[in-house]
Amino acid sequence: MDHSSKVLEATAANLAHCAELLRGDEVVGMPTETVYGLAGNALNEVSVRKIFAVKGRPLLDPLIVHFSDLAAAEAHIETNDSVRQLAAAFWPGPLTMIVPKQASIPDLVTAGLPSVAIRVPQHPVFRTILERLDFPLAAPSANPFGYVSPTRASHVAHTLGSRIQAVLDGGACDFGLESTIVDLRNPQVPVILRHGPITQAQINQILQVEVTAHSGASNDTAPQSAPGLLTKHYSPRARVTLLAHGETLTADAALDPGIAVVCNQQPTWHTDQPNIFWLSETGELNEIAHNLFELIQRLDQQDYQQLCIEQAAEEGLGQAINDRLRRAAAKLKAE
């Protein structure tokens, strides 16, 4: 069924309507600068349960809580100097911090962990809604659990439209990749749990330490300190295989109409084939990130059985892009 009527333009009347839905413990699809989120009252268990149910997300995968500013967040956490420094440098923006929580944050939000993931988003539509509410918003990406994250309101309507009342339209997401997550439970030893738009080098510079990054390998069945770092995630229906950065595809694959080939930039070979796509005119990493999930969603609605995607250069934002690609290509043991 077509659920495009659930997509609401961000007019004053629609913003007021969505704020009212959220006050009534409903969940609403909303734009952020990273990807679209499925938002609900973070302090209310009824709303939080709806978020998990609508996404089909396991309860052991904790949610990020979004605040209007640092002061609002500090009312619900145990803060520290690193939080303040990173907030001053990158908020509002695509950085999530893990910190000890206060009792006001329900255990359901944090999968029972004594810590909470917090962020102050930048998108004007999300900020306007937060400013109208007297509670923070829990908001994971607005996609069925395990699927590619949505970067347009239409992606949300297409996958979750039958289960929610509204998606606010804020256009295409600027970054198109989920936020960077940094664990500050021990502020002396910050750890990057998920690469994203704010790079490791940027965080090092602000904290004046060498921040380490979580290996990414994790146990997919047991609760853990960062339960959401599942090996397989961000996966479209079509099978994903990866090409190394700069690798040229064999003619056989390029000529197979069941395979869509996705390059960083326009390749010098087989460009007349209808199944060859590229993410950027210039090869810039932020353009590649911006277009990646959108192109995957588009190709996944066509008849391709396989998406063969070139990895980015493994530096800066390329680490985040390649992390998502590796998870999209991962197979669970049972598969």
Contacts of 53 (CB under 8 A, 6+ apart): none
Question: Least distance in Å: CB of 129 to ligand AMP?
Answer: 17
Contacts of 1 (CB under 8 A, 6+ apart): 161, 162
**Read out DSSP for 2-50?**
--GGGEEE--HHHHHHHHHHHHTT--EEE--SSS-EEEEETT-HHHHHH
115 binds, among Mg ion, ligand AMP, none (CB under 5 to 8 A by kind): ligand AMP
The residue with its CB nearest to ligand AMP is: 228
Tokens of 241: 């295989």
The residue with its CB nearest to Mg ion is: 141
Binding to Mg ion (CB under 5 A): which residues in 116-145? Answer: 141
Contacts of 162 (CB under 8 A, 6+ apart): 1, 3
110 binds, among Mg ion, ligand AMP, none (CB under 5 to 8 A by kind): ligand AMP
28 binds, among ligand AMP, Mg ion, none (CB under 5 to 8 A by kind): none
**Footprint on this chain of ligand AMP (rule: CB under 6 A):** 61-64, 98, 110, 113, 115-117, 140-141, 178, 181, 193, 225-229
Binding to Mg ion (CB under 5 A): which residues in 4-63? Answer: none
Q: Which is nearer to ligand AMP, 39 or 295 (CB)?
A: 39
Could you give the C-alpha distances from 288 to 139, 195, 281, 293, 329, in angstroms and in order?
A: 24, 15, 9, 9, 18
d(CA 213, CA 122): 24
Q: Which is nearer to ligand AMP, 225 or 248 (CB)?
A: 225
d(CA 183, CA 186): 8
Q: Does the protein bind Mg ion through residue 319 (CB under 5 A)?
A: no
Other C-beta atoms closer than 10 Å to the C-beta of 239 total 16
Q: Which is nearer to ligand AMP, 39 or 98 (CB)?
A: 98
Q: Which is nearer to ligand AMP, 33 or 61 (CB)?
A: 61
d(CA 37, CA 29): 6
Q: Which is nearer to Mg ion, 70 or 324 (CB)?
A: 324
51 binds, among Mg ion, ligand AMP, none (CB under 5 to 8 A by kind): none
Question: Least distance in Å: CB of 149 to Mg ion?
Answer: 6
226 binds, among Mg ion, ligand AMP, none (CB under 5 to 8 A by kind): ligand AMP
Question: Least distance in Å: CB of 155 to Mg ion?
Answer: 13
Q: Which is nearer to Mg ion, 141 or 235 (CB)?
A: 141
Q: Which is nearer to Mg ion, 72 or 330 (CB)?
A: 330
Contact present, 178 and 321 (Cβ < 8 Å): no
Q: Cα 218 from chain centroid? A: 18
Residues lying near Mg ion in the complex (CB under 5 A): 141
